[in-house]
Amino acid sequence: MRIGTHNINGIRATVARGFREFWAGADADVVALQEVRCRPADLPLHAFDGWHATLELGQIAGRNGVAVLTKVPPAAVHTLHGGLAHQVADGELSEIPTQLTGGRFLRPFGGEGRYLEVDLADAPVRLVSLYLPKGAAWPYDGLDQEKYERKMRFLRGLKRQITLRRRDAAAEGREFLIVGDFNVANTQRDLKNWRGNQKSEGFLPEEREWFDSILSPRSLVDVVRKHAGDVDGPYSWWSWRGQAFDNDAGWRIDYQLASPGLAQRVTDVTVAREASYDTRLSDHCPVIVDYDV
């Protein structure tokens, strides 16, 4: 089973850049999306031709929004609000009920379109598409202080959520996989200019400590790092500005974190960095993993 994750930075913009063509050629079975950034009425429905799309768009117009594209409808859908989500099937948009998940730390984020959990119907896998808040750089004051504190609250809630949902999935005979844009570079290997970014959001010591705390051989495995080994990158995000892309001065902030049993079934990893700046689909590139399930 080929599973991809991609922060598309706006579905309408990325469709114009070749979203459909790329994913048709990638031959993926499941694609998780982040930053769909579109109101339901404005969705380009043709972008999902050939897929069953489950979308948690949130209530903030033009921001956030996560989705999971599958070949068949998922067996179950969970959100942080337990209300209605959207689906696109056979070119038609409709609303679907979801089940509530997430504790008190995550509940305030329920309307932001950051977390979508599905049980796949054609594989024993529980999959989460995640878009984590960006936070703020140090020193924190005013609005930046609030951004920093909100991200830390989300991280605390997410750690508990991951543990509970992974254990629940295991009890149901399912593997657990959380993918998406974590907005954290875990190690010095995960960004080009780590020395100059030690006070930047996404590379703060407390963020990296949190990331380390959710990884272990018995809980979750960073399958891209396991496959790549102890090397710089492979990066998945580059600023649109300057020469960051051309110089490969990027960050690795898009992950696939798998339960141990699923991590052992990885057969291939592709970080699909585009050939040139002009052919980029987004400021993030797709991260694709093949699992023998």
Average pLDDT, stretch 25-38?
98
Which pLDDT belongs to residue 140?
67
Indicate the pTM of the whole model: 0.97
Tokens for 81, please give them. 């609000």
Cβ atoms within 10 Å, residue 242: 10
Average pLDDT, stretch 46-63?
95
pLDDT per position as a tens digit, 110-167: 999 999 999 999 999 999 999 999 998 887 667 788 899 999 999 999 999 999 999 9
Mean pLDDT of the chain: 96
Cβ atoms within 10 Å, residue 274: 17
Say what percent of the chain tops pLDDT 70: 99
Q: Does position 291 have pLDDT exceeding 70, yes or no?
A: yes
The domain made up of 2-291 has a fold known as: Deoxyribonuclease I; Chain A (3.60.10)
Tokens for 8, please give them. 């598309």
Number of alpha helices (DSSP H) and beta strands (DSSP E) in the chain = 6, 15
pLDDT per position as a tens digit, 71-102: 999 999 999 999 999 999 999 999 999 999 99
Sorted by sequence, the CB contacts under 8 Å of residue 46 that are 6+ apart come out as 20, 91
Q: Do the beta carbons of residue 78 and residue 101 sit within 8 Å?
A: yes
One-letter amino acid identity for 135? G
Q: Do the beta carbons of residue 137 and residue 202 sit within 8 Å?
A: no
DSSP 6-57: EE-S-HHHHHHHTHHHHHHHHT-SEEEEE-----GGG--GGGGTTSEEEEE-
